[in-house]
Structure 1
Amino acid sequence: MLHTVEWKVRLYLSEDGGTTKARVVVNTGTTTLTGHGAAHCNPADADVPEIGDELAAGRAMHDLAQQLVNTAERDIEGLDTPATGRSPRPVAGWPM
Structure 2
Amino acid sequence: MQTLVGWHIEMEFREDGPRTTAAALLRLGDGSELRAHGYSSRHPSDPEQLRVGEEIAGARALNDLASQLLSKAHGEIQEVSPVPTHPLS
Describe the SS at the equivalent of 2:20.
strand
Give the distance between the partners of 2:78 and 2:59, measured in 1 at CA: 29
Percent of residue pairs bearing the same amino acid type: 31
> Superposed, which structure 2 residues align to 1:1-96 within 5 Å?
1-29=1-29, 30-81=31-82, 92=88
Gaps of 5+ in 1: none
Count of matched residue positions in the alignment of Structure 1 and Structure 2:
88
TM-score computed with the length of structure 2 as normaliser: 0.86
Gaps of 5+ in 2: none
TM-score computed with the length of structure 1 as normaliser: 0.80
Q: Which structure has the larger Rg over C-alpha atoms?
A: 1
- Root-mean-square deviation over aligned CA pairs: 2.0
What is the Cα deviation at residue 10 of structure 1? Answer: 0.6
